[in-house]
Amino acid sequence: MKIIAKTLYGFEEILTNELNELGISETISHNRAIEFEGDLETLYKVNYNSRLTIKFLVELFNFTANDEDELYDFIYHYEWEKLFGLEQKFAIFSTVNSDDFTHSKYASLKMKDAIVDRFRDKTGKRPSISIDDPDITFNLHISNNEVSVLLDSTGESLHKRGYRSKILDAPMSEVLAAGLIAFTGYKGEVDFYDLMCGSGTILFEAALIAQNVPSGYFRKHYQFMKWKDFNPKLLEKVKKESNYNIKKASKYIYGSDLSKKSIDVLREVIASHDFFSIISVKVSDISQISPHSEKGLIVINPPYDDRLRIENIDELYRKAGKSFKFNFENHDAWMISSNFPAMKFVGLKPSKRIKLFNGNLECRFNHYELFKGKRKEHIENVSEQE
Ligand SMILES: C[S@@+](CC[C@H](N)C(=O)[O-])C[C@H]1O[C@@H](n2cnc3c(N)ncnc32)[C@H](O)[C@@H]1O
Residues 138 and 182 occupy one common structural domain: no
Gap between the Cα atoms of 338 and 317, Å rounded: 12
Hey, whose CA ends up nearest to atom 1 of ligand 1? 303
Whole-number percent of the chain with pLDDT over 90: 87
Do 178 and 132 have their domain in common? no
Span 324-348, pLDDT tens digits: 999 999 999 999 999 999 999 999 9
Q: Is residue 278 part of a domain?
A: yes
Q: 195 is in which domain, residue-wise?
A: 174-213+248-384
Q: Is residue 226 part of a domain?
A: no
Residues with CB under 6 A from ligand 1: 170-172, 196, 198-199, 201-202, 257-259, 262, 285-286, 301-303, 308, 316
Is residue 164 in a domain?
no
How far, in Å, is the centroid of ligand 1 from the Cα of 197? 6
On whether both 64 and 192 belong to a single domain, the answer is no
pLDDT tens by residue, 17-40: 999 999 999 999 999 999 999 999
**pLDDT, tens digit, 9 for 90 and up, residues 343-364:** 999 999 999 999 999 999 999 9
Both 111 and 178 in one domain: the answer is no
Residue 74 belongs to domain with CATH number: 3.30.2130.30
126 and 204 fall within a common domain: no
Q: What is the mean pLDDT of the chain?
A: 92
Residues 64 and 26 in one domain: yes
Rounded distance between C-alpha atoms, residue 29 and residue 7, angstroms: 11
* CA of 266 relative to ligand 1 center, distance in Å: 13
For position 381, what pLDDT does the model report?
39
Number of domains in the chain: 2
The pLDDT tens digits for 51-109 are 999 999 999 999 999 999 999 999 999 999 999 999 999 999 999 988 888 777 888 99
pLDDT at position 383 is: 40
CATH of the domain at 341: 3.40.50.150
* pTM attached to this predicted model: 0.93
Q: In this structure, is residue 343 part of a structural domain? A: yes
In a domain, 21, yes or no: yes
